Amino acid sequence: MLFEKGKFLLIAGPCSLECAELSFAVAEEVSRLAKKFSGELSVVFKGSFDKANRTSIKSPRGPGIDEGLEILARVKKTFGLPVITDVHEPDQCPRIGEVCDALQIPAFLCRQTDLLVAAAHTGKTVNVKKGQFLSPHDMKYAVAKLREAGASEIWQTERGTTFGYGNLVVDMRAFPIMAKNNTPVIIDATHSTQLPGAGNGSSGGEREYAALLARAAVAAGADGAFIETHPNPEAALSDASTQLPLSELEGVVKQCLALRAALLRA
């Protein structure tokens, strides 16, 4: 089991793996935080080999499955971090399961039964993101599919709900509601700041609210935080408007841990 009861779960890494150099720079900092806060934090490194749902067909999608899995395997070996990546098609799951410790179901695909079943059959942890179109009450069906398919460990991630056109909101009631499914519930603090389609062919975003959403989610009972981070977000190949500067990651982690500790003492 990757989730350690009593510890806060941090899933962190770049949106797109982009290249080995970028991935290792982020992994080094994530690894440092894992060691520094080892008594309070369990950490998983995240990176996507393919951004299959970009707004524009011309947008960069990442290094592809061959290079992406090679990068993730090297991160795992070099830094001793468990790794997670997105899956988009059922036939990708067995191969990804050979390298990754966890598979992530993108929000747009959370109802795709064949994908959920294939991910569960790898025997690895499955993190399923709540669709922007979905009520937190309805996540019980995605969880049930994974359980019936024999998933070894299931996480649910809240990443905002569509609010009109080009905006997302996070309903903090989602955390206790989704927790009724008896899995860890995580806040996607960076994707939740997206302004979908607001970038004239790409998604915009308001990264300045990522730390606020992470703190609020902890107060609402979140068991962990998903944070995409980049040394220079403005130069990122994807989610340039939402990724947290890598230099700010430790500060947000400290805030979450301090708030969680205060709540546990109350």
Q: What is the pLDDT of residues 153-175, one digit of tens each?
A: 999 999 999 999 999 999 999 99
Section 98-119 average pLDDT: 98
For residue 202, the model assigns a pLDDT of 63
Which residues are bridge partners to 168 per DSSP? 162
Listed as own residue / partner, the contacts of 26-29 with beta carbons closer than 8 Å and 24 or more positions apart are 26/229, 26/230, 26/231, 26/246, 27/75, 27/78, 27/79, 27/81, 28/79, 29/229, 29/246, 29/249, 29/250
Whether 242 is in a domain gets the answer: yes
Q: Average pLDDT over the chain, rounded to whole?
A: 96
Section 47-71 average pLDDT: 89
Whether 245 is in a domain gets the answer: yes
For residue 200, the model assigns a pLDDT of 64
Whether 142 is in a domain gets the answer: no
Is the predicted pLDDT of residue 199 greater than 90, yes or no? Answer: no
For residue 55, the model assigns a pLDDT of 77
Per residue in 27-40, pLDDT (tens digit) is: 999 999 999 999 99
CB proximity list for 122: less than 8 A, separation 6 or greater: 93, 94, 96, 97, 103
pTM of the model: 0.96
Model confidence at 204, pLDDT cuts 50, 70, 90, reads confident
Instruction: Tell me the CA distances in angstroms from 26 to 45, 76, 156, 167, one per residue in order.
Output: 9, 13, 24, 28
Query: What is the distance of C-alpha 207 from the center of its chain?
Result: 15
Whether 38 is in a domain gets the answer: yes
Range of the domain at 171: 12-83+125-134+154-265
185 three-state secondary structure: strand
How many folded domains does the chain comprise? 1
Token pair for 223: 């068991």
CB proximity list for 112: less than 8 A, separation 6 or greater: 105
Q: Which amino acid is at 20?
A: A
Model confidence at 201, pLDDT cuts 50, 70, 90, reads low
Which residues are bridge partners to 125 per DSSP? 102
Least confident of 163-167, 183-187, 188-192, 243-247: 163-167
Whether 149 is in a domain gets the answer: no
Whether 7 is in a domain gets the answer: no
Whether 102 is in a domain gets the answer: no
For residue 59, the model assigns a pLDDT of 81
CATH number, residue 170? 3.20.20.70
Whether 103 is in a domain gets the answer: no
Which residues are bridge partners to 16 per DSSP? 48
